[in-house]
Structure 1
């Protein structure tokens, strides 16, 4: 039995803590905030409740596995999971719309054919066939195994792009999400649909490798789920599982550095000077300068934390509405702008998009509203991080919230007249609450682009120090964070012989 210190109480860190505790280790979690869950926060006011982080769950099998491996009580006894059907409705700038069923390939193809015509369903279905190949090639090395030492082989894009022949010029294949949309999907509405999946993960479709096609495949194949009580209920269930396995939590405890002794991690030093010894340290946050004084966590040739600063963040508008939720309301609607390229250039150029993609979430959940005569609606847009944009500017926040509310009016008729109260959460709040630089949300690891979209391995060059959560392999996203916890625990328990889940 070893003493293990975990830095941070995000989902990846807690997943690692629970698994390590079950393996017989004494685990203590040190969290700078006063609560658990990392990005899975919740804002509540006068009977209304809103998720401030992810609002839906994909790949619930990751958390089912966590609960099976850490106790007799399965996930569904701890939280109520409901499949969202339709999984999403999409409103396009030309006035057309389509509702996509949950985890039904045939249903999706039929819905696209009916709504968009012109063989749109068959085109999207053929794309999903290629995306399935990318998933099959990527699943184990990108999600279920530790990052391999010869990670450079993952720099080859797993997506089997169609060859595009050009008059008097060499044939080319789509190398990015945007090129798949332009060259293989052709219909700008299908291209917008694909772009929306990338944007939702904080990825720039113009630069994200074609291998990102596995993201819509993952969602459309394994389904979209809602956790009753909001995603915060999932964080609470994981936290309670940790407590049941005797994991100790110390909140309001900011870790200043990792203690090194005899060439390996030997504990953590808190900001108040307190030192807690440990045989292993798990970092569930993005590494910062001075984390291990005098030590390099990565050698030349390793995947390292990018030095180019923060990526994209999330702007969230929480609307308390008068009037009940209609019975035919759709849980998730995505409102696509007319000019997706202009949005991408703004967001990933450090500016505010005039017409952003807006996701409207309307959960049919009594716990999110004071009574049946009211409704809680959340609007979400991917935005530039805090820094390039000053998200503390009250006027700017109010104007952008109005932009999202206006766009959402096409999804929620009479929305503006129903608003009782508007609350806003920006990357500035995310940065303050989680410590993430600029309030950025880490994207998932992807194959292709020479490995530029991979994340640092869970094992660092300092023996005894491991990384969990979205800033390490296999990257960001709720399911990915849970996978990182499994990889870290397996590495500690099985040592050098660990090769991933079977």
Structure 2
């Protein structure tokens, strides 16, 4: 039995802790805040309740596997998880288009596209997502299910999206996602593709075409909501950790990774206390540790990506019942920007049936940097929003940084192939033996599902050693 110290109690860190505890290790999680879940938070006021982090889960199989591998009770007995259908509503007011897409129906999506965007739109959309499927199939295992090994960064730096080639500049370099959208979809339909990717905090103008795997993933595997709010998923993972005898120490900020005999030997806390360990798992962005405390030069890490944005979020308490026709997720598009409006049909989010809780979020930018700008766009999705508004709370990137410690409130996107490896995250192993990286700032990147995948990868590397080839 090894002593393992885990820094942070985010989703990736807890997924790692649960798997290591099942393997027989003594695991202690040190969290700077007062609760678990990292960005998967909850805000409650006057009977209203809001998710302050991710509002939906894609690839639920990641957490199903976690619960199967760590206990007798499957995920479905621990949370009430439902697939969202319709999947999403897109509003493009500057084009006069309002289209709702069904879930788990490729043909239904194509039909809705044809009706909203004109003849051939569904065929063009399915063709793009078909090429995205090829990119997914080509990179799924090395990008998501295997440790990032030497040489993988080079091979994954090539864009796997089989974009249609034309003459000119695009013959000399792979196209960006924005160029693919314009060339293969065109007009308003292109904005749907770029908008989905922009929602992950990725700029379509610089993203590789392989970013099309993100809308492919959503459409293929669906969008899932946990009744009671996504915080309930974090609670279920936390309780699974407790069942496996994982110890949590809250209010314990780690200031340094201790090193002895050339390997990680524990952690030093902000109060000066030390905790010895045989292995250390860093489940936060390593740069949250003070300068000079890293066991390797800071320039030895792949770039964190200081352009990774945070999000601005409005939590809206509305009078009046949620209409029966309301869609759980609506994306309102504007030139170069968008907002996402969440309207869960969940009694746990509101004081009674005569009120509604709505969450509006966006990556700050032109047209979405101020709360009033977000409200203006959200009104396109929620009829009579301002007249119904009782009160609202604003959460800025600075608020997110204060709550989670993430510099600038940054929310890491999933790792992507292409762009010369620029959108890959650091490997789960480090130059210091005994120190591993987990969570959204490590391979395979951010998002609920991707962060959870680090649990299988890091636990496999620790338990099986360098011969571990990946999850099955």
Q: TM-score normalised to the size of structure 1? A: 0.90
**Does 1:249 pair with 2:248?**
yes
Alignment match of 1:363 (pick from 344, 355, 358): 344
- Corresponding residue number in structure 2 for 1:203: 202
SS at match of 1:249: strand
Change (3 A) 1:294 1:324: closer
Structure-2 separation of matches of 1:244 and 1:456 = 31
**Contact 2:255/2:293, CA 8 A, preserved across alignment:** no
1:214-233 alignment, distance < 5 Å: 214-233=213-232
Q: Give the aligned partner of residue 434 of structure 1.
A: 404
Correspondent of 1:321 among 291, 310, 318? 318
CA shift in 2, pair 1:427/1:95, >3 Å: same
What is the SS of the residue equivalent to 2:37? coil
- Mapped to 2, the partners of 1:114 and 1:176 lie a distance apart of 28
Structure 1 position 165, deviation (Å): 3.4
Q: Which residue of 2 aligns with 1:348?
A: none
Is the Cα–Cα contact under 8 Å of residues 310 and 437 in structure 1 kept in the other structure?
no
Residues 315-336 of structure 1, C-alpha deviations (whole Å, 9 max, x = no match):
1101100001011111111110
Residue 3 of structure 1 is matched in structure 2 by: 3
Deviation of 1:358 (Å)? 1.0
Deviations 1:354-399 (A, max 9, x none): xx40111100000000000000011011126xxxx9xxxxxx99x8
Q: Does the C-alpha gap of structure 1 residues 98 and 206 become closer, same or farther in structure 2, counting only changes over 3 Å?
A: same
- Return 5+ residue gaps in structure 2 as ranges: none
C-alpha separation in 1, matches of 2:304 and 2:25 = 34
Q: Determine helix, strand or coil for the equivalent of 1:324.
A: coil
Flag the 1:308–1:82 CA change in 2: closer, same or farther, 3 A: closer
Note closer, same or farther for the CA distance 1:447–1:298 as it changes in structure 2 (3 Å cut): farther
Q: How many angstroms does 1:72 deviate by?
A: 0.7
Partner of 1:393: none
Q: Which residue of 1 aligns with 2:134?
A: 133
Distance 2:207 2:382 in 1: 31
Cα separation, 2, equivalents of 1:442 and 1:364 = 28
The residue aligned with 2:419 is 449
Matches within 5 A, 1:84-483: 84-92=84-92, 93-150=94-151, 151-165=153-167, 171=171, 175-186=175-186, 188-288=187-287, 290=290, 293=293, 295-296=295-296, 304-306=301-303, 309-337=306-334, 339-340=335-336, 356-383=337-364, 400-483=370-453
Q: CA deviation at 1:411?
A: 1.1
Please give the secondary structure, in 2, of the residue aligned with 1:114.
Answer: helix
- What is the RMSD of the two structures over their aligned residues, measured on CA atoms? 1.8
Distance in 1 (CA, whole Å) between partners of 2:170 and 2:450 is 38
> Which shifted more, 423-432 or 284-293?
284-293
- Contact kept in structure 2, 1:446 and 1:453, CA below 8 Å: yes
Separation (CA, whole Å) in 2 of partners of 1:183 and 1:473? 31
- Tell me the secondary structure at the aligned position of residue 113 of structure 1: helix
Post-superposition offset of 1:298: 8.1
Write the distance in 1 (CA, Å) between the matches of 2:371 and 2:291: 37
Q: Deviation at 1:307?
A: 5.7
| Residue-by-residue CA offset, 1:219-246 (whole Å, 9 max, x unaligned) | 1000011110111000000000000000
Displacement after TM superposition at 1:59 (Å) = 0.3
Question: 1:404–1:233: structure 2 CA closer, same or farther, 3 Å change rule?
Answer: same
Preserved CA contact (<8 Å) 1:29 1:249: yes
Q: Which runs of 5+ in 1 are unaligned?
A: 341-355, 390-395
Contact 1:103 1:224 in 2 (8 A): no
